[in-house]
Amino acid sequence: MMEVDPDPPHLIVAWRLRAIAPPPEFQVRRLSEPEALAAADKEISRLAVEQRFSGAALVARNGKPLLARAVGYADREHQIPNRLDTKFNLGSMNKMFTAVAIAELAQEGKLTFNDPMGKYLADYPNPQAARKVTIHNLLTHTGGTGDIFGPEFEANLEKLREPQDYVRLYGKRAPAFEPGSRWEYSNYGFVLLGAIIEKVSGQSYYDYIREHVYQPAGMTSSDSYWKTEKIPNQAIGYTRVGTSQLHPNYDSLPMRGSPAGGGYSTVTDLLSFANALLNHKLLSENYLRLVTTGKAAAPGGKYAYGFEDQSEGGVRWFGHGGGAPRHQRRFEDLSGLRIRRHRAGEPGPPGGHGPGRIHREAASGWTTATVLAARRVRKAGEVLSRLAPLRIENQGEEQ
């Protein structure tokens, strides 16, 4: 798929390859759950030996782990190995937490999705954006609010500590297009959602997420840590500059993660998050359906409220992956979680594709797979596609 700038000289702004379903005569034999788990375990070992994956992976069924592995090093210099309780940078996966927080406030009647952001950010620098961009637009990347990464971001890394710091830096920008007219990924839009959470709740964004998402979900090892903090069991992110050795990515990180991403968590905490969603500890059934149902056409499917909504191999999934900027300002997928609901007698998706596609035909329930990576290498996207990027899947009832 090619995306072209509508304005002259019509430069190519994005180029993506998307796999299509194989014809019936080329369908892959489906794996049983034991076969898929064994294949996933073998794949993790192979990728670790080839130094193409360093991180943790967990597969659970109905909330109970079936496979849990940690490979590689959280700190290469001191030879500290990754563990299941190692805290990894989530990249954009934090958008799920921000979206859930907004939905909680809507569920309590404290805001509505169609409210313009200016209703809560009364002193927002750009009046046009304040008046036209709604919370719905921010949650679906249809507000034209733009990105945060680039020269300005790199020049102000030490100053970006709270949502308002981003507003001071980017708030004068007008929407890049008429809000609601098209989809364009916007990290800044989710920072604005964080600012709205602060105004509505009267708490800092970080305190609200800690008290209303992490704590009720039982996520005891998740937070947006300060860059200067010494956190036990925290993985160092690594990036490869050209073809040289891996280097810590410390210099490319802001002082703290934002509502758009950059927090830390563990595979076990992410399983707790998935379980809390499915058991409606965070959102009611109606609000969970609202948040996870696609609303805007996006690459690969639809975008919901902070969750992707896509289908692959006949299976619908919803959730969010995570990536992080390299020194060259490129992005790589680093993390993922998938949960799929399946019922007795339903066919499973094709085998040979990793734990996120595990299926057991003899019983029904939920299958969850989480993957977090410590290394930022060129093959990260391939690694995570094999090991089921952190997303949430649902098969059966519509969500």
How far apart are the C-alpha atoms of 146 and 173, rounded to whole Å? 9
How far apart are the C-alpha atoms of 141 and 179, rounded to whole Å? 9
How far apart are the C-alpha atoms of 249 and 324, rounded to whole Å? 10
DSSP line for 68-123: EEEESEEETTTTEEP-TT-BEE-GGGHHHHHHHHHHHHHHTTS--TTSBGGGT-TT
Active site annotation includes 201: no
How far apart are the C-alpha atoms of 277 and 336, rounded to whole Å? 16
DSSP line for 12-51: EEEE-----PPPGGGPPPPPPHHHHHHHHHHHHHHHHHTT
Sorted by sequence, the CB contacts under 8 Å of residue 264 that are 6+ apart come out as 87, 88, 89, 90, 221, 222, 223, 224, 225, 231, 234, 257
Q: Which two tokens stand for residue 198?
A: 């602060």
Q: Which of 25, 5, 21 is nearest to 182 (CA)?
A: 5
Residue 335 has φ and ψ, to the nearest 5°, of -145, 160
Give the helix ranges, DSSP H, for 180-233: 187-201, 205-209, 215-217
Q: Which two tokens stand for residue 343?
A: 């019922």
Active-site hit among 32, 45, 54, 92: 92
Residue pair 368/294 in contact by the 8 Å Cβ criterion:
no
Q: How many CB atoms lie within 10 A of CB 144?
A: 23
Q: Which two tokens stand for residue 92?
A: 């954009």
How far apart are the C-alpha atoms of 138 and 193, rounded to whole Å? 7
Show which residues are catalytic.
92
